[in-house]
Amino acid sequence: MSIKETELPGIGKKFQIETRSGDKMVIVVHDDGRREIYHFDNNDLEESISMVTLDDAEARCVAGILGGMAYVPKALETVEMALDDMVFEWYKVEKDAQAIGKTIGDLDIRKKTGAAIIAIIKKDEKVLNPGPEEIITPGETIVVLGDRKQVKACKELILHGGI
Partner 1 sequence: MPEQVLLEIGLALAIVAFAGILAARFRISIVPLLILAGMVVGPHAPVIGILDFRFIKSAPLIDFMGRVGILFLLFSLGLEFSVGRLLKAGRSILVGGSIYMAINFTLGMVLPIIWGWPLRETLVVAGLISISSSAIIAKVLVDLKRTARPETEMILGLMLFQDVFVAVYLSIISGLVLTGSASPPSVLKSTSLALGFMLGLILAGRKLAPLINRLFNVPSDEVFMLMVFAFLTLVAGFSETIHVAEAIGALLVGLILAETDHLDRIEHIVVPFRDFFGALFFFSFGLSIDPLTLGGAVGPVLVAVAATLTGNFLAGIIAGRMAGYSYRGCTNIGLTITPRGEFSIILANLAKTGGLLPVLQPFAALYVLLMAILGPLLTKESKWIYNQLAHLFGWPAWKEINKPDRTI
Residues that bind partner 1 (CB under 8 A): 6-12, 14, 26, 28, 30, 36, 38, 40-41, 44-49, 51
Question: Least distance from C-beta 49 to partner 1, angstroms?
Answer: 6
- E-only strand ranges, 42-140: 48-54, 80-83, 86-92, 116-121, 126-128
* Residue (26 or 154) nearer to partner 1, CB: 26
Taking every pair of C-alpha atoms in the chain, what is the biggest distance, in angstroms? Answer: 67
Contact 72, 79 (CB under 8 A): yes
Please, what is the minimum distance in Å from the beta carbon of residue 28 to partner 1?
Answer: 5
Minimal distance, residue 48 CB to partner 1, in Å: 6
Left, alpha or beta for 132 (phi > 0: left; psi -120 to 50: alpha)?
Answer: alpha
CB of 57 to partner 1, least distance (A): 19
Three-state SS at 117: strand
Q: Select 3 or 49, whichever has its Cβ closest to partner 1.
A: 49
Residue 156 near residue 112, CB atoms below 8 Å: no
Three-class SS state of 12: strand
